[in-house]
Amino acid sequence: MPITRLNHAVLYVRDVERSVEFYSEVLGFRRIDLGRDMPGAAFLQAPGSTNDHDIGLFQVGGGAGASRAGREEVGLYHLAWEVDTLDELERLARALSEAGSLVGASDHSTTKSLYAKDPDGLEFEVAWVVPAELLDDEARSGRAGIKPLDLAAAKARYGATTKGGIGISQPA
């Protein structure tokens, strides 16, 4: 029986309420009732998700140091969430930018991605996946490389409301 998808991620954060506010206000996650009897913990569900929860947050306190993963230690680089349309990716680009969280945007040919950091500096990606039927041979082979993201050009090419991931991460 193969693994089929990531169900949820658990993050250690300095201030759980600050993190709940960020993930709720900027990304649209909603707090759910799990763990209300667990001080310093919160569970959030992504918009459109049917998971019990998509993120668990556990408070470790304000004195916790920054993650050194990737700089001095091994560890997780980032999580990636998928959005349905390029319009939604553009909306999130604005929201992340306004929150001071956006740290990069890349065109990987097969995905159009934003990179951001939460209040504790934990990096995440938000991506729109090019549907299988719209992939060209260069993108399929990976020869296209990584380029700066041009959302206007991507919307002109694929359509602002084209549902992403069909035939890739979503059933055809």
Q: Which helix (H) or strand (E) holds 13?
A: strand 9-13
What pLDDT sits at residue 127? 96
What pLDDT sits at residue 142? 67
Q: Which helix (H) or strand (E) holds 17?
A: helix 16-25
What pLDDT sits at residue 35? 58
What pLDDT sits at residue 36? 65
Query: Which residue's entry shows tokens 């996650």?
Result: 29
Residue 4: pLDDT over 90: no
Q: Which two tokens stand for residue 71?
A: 């700089």
pTM, two decimals, is: 0.91
Residue 121: which domain range?
A: 79-158
Span between the terminal Cα atoms of the chain, in Å: 21
Q: Are residues 43 and 108 in the same domain?
A: no
What pLDDT sits at residue 71? 86
Per-residue pLDDT tens digits for 12-54: 999 999 999 999 999 999 999 875 678 899 999 999 899 999 9
Q: How many structural domains comprise the chain?
A: 2
Q: How far is CA 37 from CA 34, 42, 61, 155, in A?
A: 8, 10, 18, 45
Over range 135-147, report the average pLDDT: 78
Per-residue pLDDT tens digits for 80-136: 999 999 999 999 999 999 999 999 999 999 999 999 999 999 999 999 999 999 988
The reply to whether 70 falls in a domain is no
Under DSSP, the state recorded for 16 is H
CATH of the domain at 88: 3.30.720.110
The reply to whether 66 falls in a domain is no
Q: Are residues 86 and 142 in the same domain?
A: yes
